[in-house]
Structures are given as structure tokens and as C-alpha cells.
Structure 1
Amino acid sequence: MAAAATKEAAPRRNHVARGIVFAALGGICWGFSGTCAQLLTSELGAPVAWITCVRLLMGAAIFLVACLVKNWRSLRAVMRDKRSLLRIAAFSLFGVLLTQVSYLSSISFTNAGTGTVLERLGLIVIMLYVCLRARRRPSLREAVGLVMAIGGTFLIATKGNFGALAIPAEGLFWGIVSAFALACYTLIPGKALEKWGSFIVTGLAMLLGGTVATVFVQPWNIPVDVTPQLAGVMVAMVIIGTFLAYLFYLQGITDAGPVRAGLVGCVEPVSATVISAVWLGTPVLPVDILGMIMIMVMMVLVTQRGEASKQPADAYEGSTDDLPPFEGRASLLGYYRARPAMHDDFVRFQEILADGHEALAAAGVDEKGSKTYPSERRVMRAIDRKTAYVVTLAGRDDGAAQDANERIIGVFALDPNGDEVYAHAMGASWLSASPEPPEHTTYAALHWVTVAAEARRRGVGMFILGEADRLAKAAEKVSVRCDAYEGNDAMRALLVSFGFTPCGGITLFDRFGRARRRTAFERMW
């Protein structure tokens, strides 16, 4: 047991260390972005609003082109994932866009140092949220690291001048907003990042944020003299200070968790100070050096796991999946395709159905003698009739029916002639009226939706419902009907999120007259 636990813990520690490195790289790139912004605004005359629109849209273009080249199937797949799209939209508006608007507004009413310190107070919000969600207290290392991060940022941003923190009401308001925006930026995208990876999430977020900003700012109406020097600095800012900064920092959130990534991101003022001194000749004062030392101490503290390694793994402490950098779970598996099941698929078909029975038992669902449903004979008959389907990882894309290297990760059955059991069922209020006999039914019946244990929570179930929808429409049916156990909350939620309507409780009778209680669903178009 101990050996197994150690083996499982090793990838987690590697991911945390990798996440800290990426979060630090993201902060360094943001420091470079700040130096570019200083040069663009103070010497080259580019307004902040114009810079914001251009950098977001150019950054989005780079990300999305990279996604199309790298894994276009995942980019297509995320468009079917409504929950992820909503999370990405929230991240874009309340994280990416609001962070820039509130931070710049805070600076306009105060100064750069005060605005930076107020924004970094968002680290407190992040730590409080994570601790409340995980039901734990902040560790001593986290608390000391937080003090060091905010203190070091204060020294570098204000040069130790306490008088610089005289805050008007407007500046305080926008500073508090920027702190919460930083928390949103760090906390909101976690699940989407874990599923789809930082390329897709950041590209779509930047596209939406840049589009919204462009609509309101209308940068084409802002006079800007685009000289070769301005264009060169802008390109460098987009590639290093936007593309790489967002890519690295969000990967840091995925691997190391929001608390560590947020704290390590405080290396940004250190990076900005050093780059500005080397590039623009800005003097470095002793108080800057003291602030840098405090931030370096903070990074050493949060790099060590300390007592946290003895605690149970928590989703907010960083990813435990063994994923390559910048890849999410769905991206790692790739996109899927469905095909009619063949006789050679029978054994794997049965294995996945058995996985489903185990999952229902683990969820506390009493199948009441249905653990052998569907029978082997029924499965084979469905295979013969071409109404049984398997979901596979995308193999060859040459139209071949079967790829020797494909992996079957899900199964389902869709009968365009409906299900005669529904004709004798009691209790359901179906959306459509379907005449009998079965060959004249106007609906298709969906059954046996099961995903292999290793492929769950990766969008396979949503893909199956989409395929069932497509197949039913191709058969010129007006709806898809199905049923689910009343205790199968995961399946019920999946059906509703896809657009199925609950049609009430239904009592089904098998050929021996035995009653089974289910919840009926139908999707009609």
C-alpha cells in the first residue's frame, strides 16, 4: 500500500514543481509586457485602450491558429461543450478583460504603485476561497508567503514611499475591483483548463475579450502613428507578454493550483524592474532589491509542500492527472467518432457495459435484477441489426470502418424504429405522439449509453448524445426518447444539459411482466 501511495504521489509533486516554474515564467513574461507598455505609452504615444484591443485580438489569433494546427478536433469539440464555453466566457469577461480595465482605472485615479499593490490583494481573496472550498486553514508557509508577496510588491511598486498610498475613493473602488478580478482570473478557468488545456481556453477567452473591447473602444477611431519601432515593440509584447505569459501562467494554475500560481505570479514586478533597468535604463534602488529578496523568499516557501503533502489531494491544489504541458484531459484523449459495432467488438462492448453496472452500484443505484441487462443475446442482435454503436478515439481519418489502433471508450444503441416497451409503458408524458406498429414510429430510442471508466468526464457522454441526435435526424425522426434510473443523477443531468426534457416517471414492463421504474426523457426538434 505504501509503495502504491508513493508511486501515485510522485507525478503530483512533479506537476506542482512544473506548475511553479510555468507560473514564474508567466510572471516574467508579464513583467516584459509591462516594460513594453511603458515604452509604448510614454515614448511612442500609443493609448492604453488601443494597445489592449490590439494585443488581445493578435494574441487570440496566435492561439487559435496554433490550436487549428495542433489539434483542430479538440477546438471543434469544445464548441459542443456548453459548460466549458460558459466558464471560458466568464473567464474572458470577469478575468481577462475586467482585470485590465479595473487595474488601469485604479492607476488613473491613484498611481502605478498603488494600483499594483491593490490588485495583488486579490491573493488574499484566492487563498480565502481555496481554504473555504477545501475546508482547511491556510498553512504557515502560505500565510508567510502571502505576506512576503504583498510586502515585496509594495516595496517595488512604491519604492517604499508610504505617502504614495493616499487613495481617493474612486481609486480604492477600482483597486478592490481589480483584486477580485485577479481572483476571478485565477480561479474561474480551472475546470476548463483541466479539461481542454491552456491553448484552447486562452485563445477563446482572448477572442471574446478582444471582440468586446474592440466593440466598445473602436480602436480604428484612435489616431496612432504605427512606426516600425512601435510595430516591433507591439509584436514582441503580443508574442512574449501576451501569448507566452497567458500560456505559462494558466498552465501554472493547472499544475500547481491557484494559490501557488497566484503567489509565484508576484515575480512580475521583479521581472519588470530588471527588464526595465536593462532595456530602458531605469535605476534600481536598494528598496527594489529588498522587495525582490522578499518575493524570492516567498517563492522558496511556496515551492515546498511542507505539511500539505500529508493531506488528502484536493482539486484546488493542482492537477493530479499525468498530462503533458498545455494539454487538457479531452485534448489528451483526442476527439471521438462513432461507428456501428461489429462482431469483433462484442467482448469490449460487454466490458464497457460491465463498467457501467459497477459505476451505478458505486453511486448507490439499485438495478433490481437488471445487472445482466442487456443480455448477451440482445447485444448481439443489436449488432446484427446495426443499431449498436461504439465510440472510438479518432484513428485513421480515411473513411475506414475500423482502425487496428483505435480504442473503444463508449457504447450506445439507437433504434430508429423506437422501442416496443415504450408502447406498453405507463406514466410518461411524451412530447411527441408516435403511432404503432414500430416501423411507423416517429422517434428513435436511445439505450445503453455507457462510457469506459478511464474515459469519463472527458466529454464522451455529450458526444454520444450528439451522435444519437444526428443519427435520428438522418433517419427522419422527430425526436429521441430514452429513460434513466431515478438515482442516476449524472446521466439525468447530462440529458438535461444536452436539451432533453424530463417526461415524468415511467413504469416499464419486460416480457415476463416485471415492472421497472425509470425517469423518461425526450428531445424533440
Structure 2
Amino acid sequence: MNQTQLNKRTFGFILVILGASFWGIGGTVAQKLFQQENIEVGWLVSSRLLIAGLLLIGVYKITHWNNSIFVMFRTKHNAFRQILFSLLGMLAVQYTYMMSISIGNSAVATLLQYLAPLFIMGYYLITKHSQLTRQDGIAVTLTLVGTFLLLTNGSFSTLSVPGLAVFWGILSGLSAAFYTLYAVPLLQQFHSLLVVGWSMVIGGIVMSLFHQPWQINMSNWELSTIAYFLFIVIFGTMLAFWFYIASLHYLTPKETSLLGSLEPLTAVMTSVLWLKINFGGFQLLGTMLILCMILYLTVFPKKQQ
């Protein structure tokens, strides 16, 4: 691996780490917003998708003034792929995850969402795009064990949730796997700002049919409420998804999904430091396992064809 390839991989690692961290912190901020203002989940999903998506498309237009923002809709094939990615990827990831949290709890929802690397590897094995390597096995083991300990503190009792919460959580993991895999062909043709931006706008429009963003009373919102909402839109949505998707330019989908496990790590850390939630010994061990996985992928990158 030459210096240029190494620099690109390093940049990819930075992107996915920032994206996952922003997403995890955004989840904690969203929890604070739900507790403080009783914000409805469907309203927050539709609002954040629409605003963040329009911002991303606006950034693309400013930086690529002479290019059309509708380039992927010029052919039926590309338009179909973009719409499918928007609904089964972007919108599905957000909605299924929130549904699992609302019925069960965030620990189980996040743990089930991080079955995505297993679904991705299963897809590769079934389609014979790759074989399971020792590196894959070590990375997945560190990820799943670390995430489980991080979110449950080693107690199986925290997994006692309604079956419907497990159902939505598994769908969340499948959606995250689809989101990661299906984005690659789109990114090979179009800029990541457009791919992510349009997926948010399309997903937000569909969600708005059921939860209208304009149907909310903001007269009693405090300055802190506005700040929380803006953080969720800009950092927890726009930058989080953009950086995550952009990392696929430099890393494999398997690596990106594994490094995405920083999301629960940052969510737990911000909950401990900000919401004053107790942090147990098993959670500390889980944190160390996830950090070991990141270090392992960084120091021993798989040779790419």
C-alpha cells in the first residue's frame, strides 16, 4: 500500500469516525429534546430530514455552481435507484431505529442495529463477492461483544423487551446494511452531497405525508431547545450521514459499518458526562474492545484488489 492509498484510507477513517460520533451525540441530544419538550418522534424525523437534505443540496450547488442538482434524475434507472435508496435506506434507518426505541429501549435498539456488519458479511458470502477472513471474524467479534457490554453492562436482563421492539430493531440493522451497500453504486456516479441530500429530502417528503413538520407549536421553545434542534439537524443528521457515506469512497462497506460502532460509544459517553448516567465496569470493557477494533483495522488494513 503506497502513501497515497494510506492517506486516503486515513481520511476515510476520519470521516466515518466523525460521522458515527456526530450520530451518537445527536441521539443523546434528541433524548434530551424528547424529555424537555415532548417532541414527537415522527415530527423530528421528517423535520430533520427535510432541513438537513436541503442544506446538503445547497452546499453542493454553492461549491459546484455550474452543475445540475437533478443529474441523477435524468434517467429512469438512476432516478429509481436514488428513490429506492432514499426510502429503504435513509428513511428506513431513521424510522425503524426510532420505533425500536419507542417500544423498547435505546440499548436494545442500538445493539440490534449493529447487526448490520453481520448482514453485510452474510450478503458478501451469499453472493460470493468475498470470503470470510480471520480479520473479518476478529473485527466482528470485537464489535458485537464490545457493543453488547457497552450498552447492557453485561446484564442480559436489559434485553427483556417486547417482541415488536426486537422486530423493529432487526429491521433497523437490515436497513443500515442496505444503506451501506446500496450507496456504493450511486457514489460511483454522483457526488456524495447529492446522494445524501436527495435521500434526506425524498425521505422527509414521504415522512411529511404522515407527520407534517409545520404542525408544531414553538411558542414555548427556549433558546436551549432551538440549539438542541439545530445540533440534531446540522451535526446529528447532515454531517453525520454525509461523512458516513463519503467514507465509502475510501473504505469498504464492511469497514465503514464496523467503524460505525463508535455511534453507541459516543452515545453512552455523552449520556454519562451530560445526562449523568452511571458507567459500569463492563461498559468500560466494551469501550476498550471497540477501540481495539478501530486500532486493529487501522494498523492491519486488508489488502484491496
- Counterpart in the other structure of 2:297: 302
What code does the residue aligned with 2:236 have? G
Match of 2:84 among 76, 85, 90: 90
1:257 and 2:257 correspond: no
Q: Deviations over 1:388-431 (max 9, x none)?
A: xxxxxxxxxxxxxxxxxxxxxxxxxxxxxxxxxxxxxxxxxxxx
Number of residues of Structure 1 aligned to a counterpart in Structure 2: 303
Closer/same/farther in 2, CA of residues 227 and 301 from structure 1, 3 Å limit? same
- Counterpart in the other structure of 1:123: 117
1: CA distance, partners of 2:152 / 2:111: 9
Closer/same/farther in 2, CA of residues 26 and 88 from structure 1, 3 Å limit? same
- Counterpart in the other structure of 1:274: 269
- Counterpart in the other structure of 1:34: 27
- TM-score, scaled relative to structure 1: 0.55
Q: Secondary structure of 1:284's match?
A: coil
Closer/same/farther in 2, CA of residues 11 and 134 from structure 1, 3 Å limit? farther
1: CA distance, partners of 2:31 / 2:287: 20
- Counterpart in the other structure of 2:9: 16
What code does the residue aligned with 1:186 have? T
What code does the residue aligned with 1:31 have? G
Q: Deviations over 1:29-55 (max 9, x none)?
A: 111111111110112321211211111
1:290 and 2:285 correspond: yes
Moved more, 184-193 or 76-85: 76-85
- Counterpart in the other structure of 1:430: none
Tell me how far 1:284 sits from its aligned partner.
2.4
The structure that has the greater radius of gyration is: 1
Structure 1 vs Structure 2: percent identity of aligned residues? Answer: 30
Larger strand proportion of the pair: 1
Tell me how far 1:81 sits from its aligned partner.
4.1
CA contact (8 A) 1:20 1:260 kept: no
- Counterpart in the other structure of 2:189: 195
Match of 1:59 among 39, 42, 52: 52
Q: Secondary structure of 1:282's match?
A: coil
CA contact (8 A) 1:118 1:179 kept: yes
Root-mean-square deviation (Å):
2.0
2: CA distance, partners of 1:45 / 1:135: 46
- Counterpart in the other structure of 1:147: 141
Tell me how far 1:305 sits from its aligned partner.
4.3
Q: How does 1:77-116 map to 2 (within 5 A)?
A: 77-116=71-110
CA contact (8 A) 2:100 2:168 kept: yes
What code does the residue aligned with 1:287 have? F
Closer/same/farther in 2, CA of residues 167 and 45 from structure 1, 3 Å limit? closer
Q: Secondary structure of 1:256's match?
A: coil
Tell me how far 1:223 sits from its aligned partner.
4.7
Moved more, 33-42 or 169-178: 169-178
Q: How does 1:196-215 map to 2 (within 5 A)?
A: 196-215=190-209
What code does the residue aligned with 2:141 have? V
Stretches of structure 1 that go unaligned for 5 or more consecutive residues are 1-5, 314-525
- Counterpart in the other structure of 2:162: 168
Closer/same/farther in 2, CA of residues 62 and 219 from structure 1, 3 Å limit? closer
Q: Deviations over 1:473-504 (max 9, x none)?
A: xxxxxxxxxxxxxxxxxxxxxxxxxxxxxxxx
2: CA distance, partners of 1:259 / 1:158: 24
Moved more, 276-285 or 109-118: 276-285
Match of 1:70 among 50, 59, 63: 63
Tell me how far 1:263 sits from its aligned partner.
0.2
1:248 and 2:243 correspond: yes
2: CA distance, partners of 1:236 / 1:222: 19
What code does the residue aligned with 2:173 have? A
Tell me how far 1:135 sits from its aligned partner.
3.5
- TM-score, scaled relative to structure 2: 0.92
Stretches of structure 2 that go unaligned for 5 or more consecutive residues are none
CA contact (8 A) 2:152 2:158 kept: yes
Closer/same/farther in 2, CA of residues 197 and 133 from structure 1, 3 Å limit? farther
1: CA distance, partners of 2:6 / 2:123: 23
1: CA distance, partners of 2:298 / 2:136: 10
1:237 and 2:232 correspond: yes
CA contact (8 A) 2:22 2:235 kept: yes
CA contact (8 A) 1:142 1:301 kept: no
CA contact (8 A) 2:151 2:268 kept: no
Tell me how far 1:292 sits from its aligned partner.
0.7
Q: Secondary structure of 1:220's match?
A: coil
Closer/same/farther in 2, CA of residues 16 and 128 from structure 1, 3 Å limit? farther
Tell me how far 1:251 sits from its aligned partner.
1.1
Tell me how far 1:75 sits from its aligned partner.
1.9
2: CA distance, partners of 1:161 / 1:43: 29
2: CA distance, partners of 1:194 / 1:15: 16
What code does the residue aligned with 1:64 have? I
Q: Deviations over 1:220-274 (max 9, x none)?
A: 3455543322111111111111111011111112210110000000011111122
CA contact (8 A) 2:149 2:282 kept: yes
CA contact (8 A) 1:90 1:188 kept: no
Larger helix proportion of the pair: 2
